[in-house]
Chains A and B, each alone.
Chain A
Amino acid sequence: MILAEHLHNVDRHWAVLAVGEAERDHGLKVADARLVKQAVGQQMHIDFPEDGGDDELLHRLAMAYEMAAIEGLDAFLNPTANEEELRNQCSAGAWRAFEIRRLFTLPENEIERISHLLHLSALAYCGDRWSDLRRWYNENEKSIQVPSVSRATWDRRLLYRLFECWIRLFRKKR
Chain B
Amino acid sequence: MRDRAVVYLGHRATRSAWQGTYQKAAKNYIKTHGSGVTIFGVLVRDVPPNSDDLAASRQMLFENCPGKTLIELLAIYLPAGSIDTLSDKVVAAGKRGDA
Binding site for B on A (CB under 8 A): 14-15, 18-20, 56, 59-60, 63-64, 66-67, 70-71, 73-74
Contacts and interface: CB of A to CB of B under 8 A. Distances in A.
A41 B3 CA distance: 32
Contacts of A73: 11, 14
B26 A15 contact: yes
A14 B10 CA distance: 12
Interface of B: 3, 6-7, 10-11, 14-15, 23, 26-27, 30-31, 33-34
A60 B14 CA distance: 20
B28 to A, nearest CB: 8
Contact of B30 (A18, A70, A71): A18
Contact of A67 (B26, B31, B33): B26
B87 to A, nearest CB: 24
A63 B11 contact: no
Given A14-B23, A71-B10, A74-B14, A63 B3 contact: yes
